[in-house]
Amino acid sequence: MDVDYRDLELLEALGDGASMTAAAQRLFVTQPALSQRLTLLEQRLGTALFERSPRGMRPTAAGRRLLTAARSALAELRSAARDIERARDGGRRSLRVSSQCSTNYRWMAPLAQRHRELHPDVDLRLVTCPGDEPIPALRANDVDVAVVTKTGKQAPGVELVPLFTDELVAVVGARHPWAGRHVVDAQAIAAATFVLYEVYDQDRPEPLPLPLPAGVAPARVTTAPMVTQLLVDLVASDGGVTVLPRWIADEYVAAGDIAIVRMTEQPPIASWYVATRQGERDEVVRAFARELGQRAKEVFDTARRR
């Protein structure tokens, strides 16, 4: 069969209904170039692999069969690449971990120390991903374990295991007009300036949804790098509003510079997951994913009892 590695990556990127544009972004090529590659592959095989529609690309029966083979082959090739890298580095290996939000590294820190003690031959590395999107990096074997928040999109080839849920609250300076209020109304939100993590930038290809009541938009949204202290300093000094997980915001409230207020009686909730490649067989990766779940339970059970 006349299929090469790039063809396998193309199939994986288009699997389970992805659009041609999204697949092209994932593979860092132009959409016309990717479309031509698919056409040439189908011509070589003599059959259609995908049905084109405005709603995305849907694999045909032949496409589904080849997609299954592609995922299996890519998993083996990426596993082999890790083994070769480990041998080249004298038997040491790296465990690459990423989070979609930098605040998670705070509760993960003790786990990192414990893991180093249990696996002294493994170098634990915290990895940043382009666009703060760990899932594509996970699929491309650039990351081994990721902590992500589900945004309603499918993650083919990736296993998602629930970790915890976060209550998202508005955070303002201690002298802000909202300070001392239990809940703000839609009118107040519509007049406010929000300063949010850059993952909420609506001009990004796949932004996270704004954690606001349905149908309500602030007067202005600006974004900043994912540095929590920077967001807190900005809202404490210039009167803006940001949104943080409750467990993080509580730490800053204790210092007296900010106040917490809910945007609805039932605050927005973010669900977090530990993500690994589907069918992952590396026991070090699987062990770290399990330990993440245990650590998250310890931290957030304690936070809820406060």
Q: What is the mean pLDDT of the chain?
A: 81
Q: What is the largest CA-CA distance in the chain?
A: 69
pLDDT at 222: 82
Q: What is the mean pLDDT of residues 44-62?
A: 84
pLDDT level of residue 80 (50, 70, 90 thresholds):
confident
Higher pLDDT pick, 171 / 238: 171
pLDDT at 262 over 80: yes
pLDDT at 91: 58
Segment 222-258, tens digit of pLDDT: 887 767 788 888 888 877 888 888 888 887 887 777 8
Cβ(166)–Cβ(293) under 8 Å?
Answer: no
Segment 215-224, tens digit of pLDDT: 888 888 888 7
Cβ(149)–Cβ(231) under 8 Å?
Answer: no
pLDDT at 306: 55
Which stretch of DSSP H or E encloses residue 189? helix 186-190
Higher pLDDT pick, 171 / 24: 171
CA dist 222 → 41, 171, 182, 237 (Å): 44, 15, 24, 15
Q: How far apart are CA 10 and CA 138, in angstroms?
A: 16
Long-range CB contacts (within 8 A, 24+) of 110-114 = 110/295, 111/291, 111/292, 111/295, 114/291
Q: What is the mean pLDDT of residues 46-57?
A: 82
pLDDT at 176 over 80: yes
pLDDT level of residue 206 (50, 70, 90 thresholds):
low
Higher pLDDT pick, 79 / 19: 19
Q: What is the mean pLDDT of residues 195-201?
A: 76
CA dist 198 → 201, 242, 250 (Å): 5, 12, 22
